Structures are given as C-alpha cells and as structure tokens.
C-alpha cells in the first residue's frame, strides 16, 4: 500500500520570521499518521532567515539534520558547538532534559534545513553528535546511504533500525529500492517531480510504503529525494517526545 501526503497537507509553522512545514503533526488528529510513520516521528522542512535562531528541548531523541542550503551554527546536548554547511548531514542524540540550538550566522541568506526525528530504540541514549558530508556527485544518479545502524559506507551511525538515503536524479533516471518483509519506507521529495506507480509527487510531497516489495522512483525532471527504509514494528506505547510548539525562537 502507498499512502500519499501532499505538501499542502503538511502543517505550516510561521513564527516570527521563521517558516517550517511538518509532514507529521502530533496535534492533528484528523490523520492516521499524525504521530509519524513507524519509527519516523518527525520530518520537518524549515527556512531559517539570516541571523535567526531556534532552541528546543529534547527527551531521548535521535535527530538527523540535513542542511540543503546555507549554513548553521549549532550547539549539541553535550555543550559542544560547530558549523553545518550545505551538503552536510548530522546525527544528534539527546537525553531527557537536554536542549538543542541552531542559528543561521549569515547576514544575507536563509538556511534551508531538513530535520528527521527517529523514535529512540531504547531509553537513555548517550548524548552526542556525528557529522558527515555527502557531495552532490556522491548522491547523483543513485540512492546514497547517509545513515544506517552499522555506519556502513561511511554513513552516519544511528541506534534505530533505520536507513536514510539521499539521491539527486536527472530527468528520466530511475531507481529501485527493495523492501524485504517487515520493512516499510517513507519517500520525501525535496526538489522536482517524481513518479511512483500511478502517482506523481512534487516538491514537499511524501509517500509511505507498507506491504510493498520495493520503492520504484522515476524522475520527471531534475529532482532531489530523501528515502527512509524503516522497521515496521514499533512500540505503540512509546510516548511522543516532539512538541512542534515547544520551540523557542530568537530574533
């Protein structure tokens, strides 16, 4: 089964000068995917204006941040800090009571950022972060693994049974990702248009795959996609730790 989530169905946040779109919204009871998709809890696209900053609490979360354009100054749960530049992916883990912060240090350009929150595989994750850069050439024409449980191919290492892929495709290029039994997948279109089966997905659209043997994607024009391969089984009693309204903004 393929479940499509259109860009306009996402929750739009506009706080001060910051704009974000939430594919899954825990406050939206009208959809069955309000709490996420399997272990995928949050898929958030945001644009951080010049010099804007945000800070939010974290409780046993595993977060993958992808900076598509611009760069961010960040502070992780251990108090460490650094810079995330375009094309870089970061995995951050935080424990209960931890806080994360990020700031766009540019005085003239917005930062285009994606955040993926995975439900913790176990409580009490050790706080820390890991950073990897994946060039456009590495992701061109194929699904490049950028995160996995074992960190293979120099990918980010995550504790959850989840694999994240990034691809930049030319018009007409076709990629297939096999889904063994017990696996599901979520596809997000970052840029351009793609076809999956009889559906065409555009910028900001997403699709969940359950009980499918594979994910088959054809680029209708130049495009960029993110694909998550996930374990189907999750603890249904696991509480949601993400509150999209708990973000503290700074001018």
Q: What CATH number has the domain bearing residue 231?
A: 2.60.120.10
Q: What's the pLDDT at 18?
A: 81
The tens digit of pLDDT for each residue in 173-185 reads 999 999 999 999 9
The tens digit of pLDDT for each residue in 186-217 reads 999 999 999 999 999 999 999 999 999 999 99
Max CA distance (Å), the chain: 49
Q: What's the pLDDT at 29?
A: 55
**Average pLDDT over the chain, rounded to an integer:** 86
CA 76 to chain centre: 17
Q: What's the pLDDT at 245?
A: 45
Q: In terms of residue numbers, what domain contains 92? A: 2-250
Higher pLDDT, 208 or 28: 208
Closest CA to 214 of 235, 196, 241: 196
Q: What's the pLDDT at 78?
A: 73
Residue 247 pLDDT level (bands cut at 50, 70, 90): very low
Question: Into how many domains does the chain fold?
Answer: 1
CB-CB contact of 116 with 43 (8 Å): yes
Q: What are the CA-CA distances from residue 191 to residues 167, 188, 243, 250 (Å)?
A: 11, 9, 27, 29
C-alpha 241/C-alpha 165 separation (Å) is 24
Higher pLDDT, 13 or 221: 221
Torsional class of 146: left (φ above 0), alpha (ψ -120 to 50), beta (otherwise) = alpha
C-alpha 230/C-alpha 227 separation (Å) is 10
pTM given for the model: 0.88
Q: What are the CA-CA distances from residue 104 to residues 14, 31, 60, 250 (Å)?
A: 17, 33, 25, 11
């Amino acid at each position: 089964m393929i479940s499509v989530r259109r860009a306009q169905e996402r929750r739009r946040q506009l706080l001060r000068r910051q704009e974000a779109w939430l594919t899954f919204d825990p406050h939206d009871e009208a959809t069955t995917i309000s709490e996420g998709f399997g272990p995928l809890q949050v898929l958030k696209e945001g644009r951080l204006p010049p010099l804007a900053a945000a800070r939010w609490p974290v409780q046993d979360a595993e977060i993958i941040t992808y900076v598509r354009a611009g760069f961010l100054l960040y502070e992780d749960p251990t108090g460490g800090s650094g810079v995330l530049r375009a094309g870089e992916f970061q995995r951050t883990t935080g424990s209960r009571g931890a806080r994360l912060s990020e700031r766009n240090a540019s005085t003239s350009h917005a930062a285009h950022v994606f955040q993926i929150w995975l439900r913790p595989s176990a409580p009490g994750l050790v706080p820390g972060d890991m950073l990897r850069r994946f060039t456009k050439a590495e992701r061109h024409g194929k699904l490049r693994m950028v995160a996995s449980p074992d960190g293979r191919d120099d990918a980010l290492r995550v504790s959850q049974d989840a694999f994240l892929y990034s691809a930049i495709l030319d018009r007409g290029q076709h990629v297939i990702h096999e889904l063994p039994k017990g696996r599901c997948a979520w596809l997000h279109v970052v840029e351009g248009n793609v076809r999956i089966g009889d559906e065409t997905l555009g910028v900001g659209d997403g699709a969940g795959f359950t009980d499918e043997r594979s994910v088959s994607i054809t680029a209708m024009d130049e495009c960029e996609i993110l694909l998550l391969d996930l374990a189907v089984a999750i603890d249904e009693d696991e509480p949601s730790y993400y509150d999209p309204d708990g973000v503290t903004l700074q001018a």
